[in-house]
Amino acid sequence: MRRSNCCSLFDGKSLAGWEGDLKWWRVQDGVIAGGSTTEKIPRNFFLATTRSFQNFDLRLKIKLTGDPKGGLINSGVQIRSLRVPDHNEMSGYQVDAGDKWWGKLYDESRRNKVIAEPIDAAADAAVKKEDWNDYRILAEGPRIRSWINGVPALDYTEADPAIALDGKIALQIHSGGMALVQFKDLVIEELAPTPDAPTWDKVGHPKPRPPAPADKNKKAAPAPAPLTK
């Protein structure tokens, strides 16, 4: 597939080009940080790009820390997803991250289940716990692959023609525990689009649902800014 252009998704200083709940997402020490190690996370929170992507090669570094006694320590990277209207949730594929979850593909707020397991145990063995891990996610047409620290983790081909192959990228911090997730070096290389691919505009956007309770400390998201080359 012909490659087109490459750009950074994070300028290292601000959340320009992203939207989300700024009580739970921030830039800290030059990285994107989500969650809390002192306050239990009440529900899933997502920091999403303001741009949509179809085919791409995404590379990033992720670090997930927390005390297991405090609850679930889990994160993930949403791809080809859209925000549920007026809600904290994203709908679409999630390339998962967390103990016993690394390398899985979950369908968030859509089919609501794991739709693909890791290729084998080698990917989980490659994870550096409570340290930085390289995650690569390659989405080409209906096929989604991932690598963890260079080890193949996921190889899934979508068989349902009603599933959109475009959408936002979003970073998750999962509810239920006291955990901190950090991201850096987020670089995406856009690939040529798939002719006549199903898109959210064609198959239908996520439907509204009752809004989540408002956070007292919730702030407005930053204004969108162009991605840097």
User: Is position 170 within any domain?
Assistant: yes
User: Is position 45 within any domain?
Assistant: yes
- Quote the CA–CA distance of 15 and 222 in Å, as a whole number: 7
User: Is position 227 within any domain?
Assistant: no
Beta bridge partners of residue 182, listed in sequence order:
33, 63
- What is the tally of structural domains in the chain? 1
User: Is position 217 within any domain?
Assistant: no
Its domain, for residue 186, covers 3-193
**For 141-229, where are the E strands, in sequence order?**
143-148, 151-157, 168-173, 179-191
Predicted local distance difference test score (pLDDT) of residue 213? 60
User: Is position 203 within any domain?
Assistant: no
- Quote the CA–CA distance of 19 and 49 in Å, as a whole number: 6
User: Is position 209 within any domain?
Assistant: no
- For 101-215, where are the alpha helices, taking DSSP H only? 122-126, 200-203
DSSP three-state, residue 87: coil
pLDDT tens digits, 49-104? 999 999 999 999 999 999 998 899 999 999 999 999 999 999 999 999 999 999 99
Predicted local distance difference test score (pLDDT) of residue 210? 80
Q: Give me the tens of pLDDT residue by residue for the chain, a chain 229 residues long.
A: 444 578 999 999 999 999 999 999 999 999 999 999 999 999 999 999 999 999 999 999 999 999 998 899 999 999 999 999 999 999 999 999 999 999 999 999 999 999 999 999 999 999 999 999 999 999 999 999 999 999 999 999 999 999 999 999 999 999 999 999 999 999 999 999 999 999 999 999 999 988 666 544 434 344 444 443 3
CATH at 67: 2.60.120.560
Residue 72: how many other CB atoms lie within 10 Å: 16
Predicted local distance difference test score (pLDDT) of residue 214? 54
User: Is position 216 within any domain?
Assistant: no
User: Is position 211 within any domain?
Assistant: no
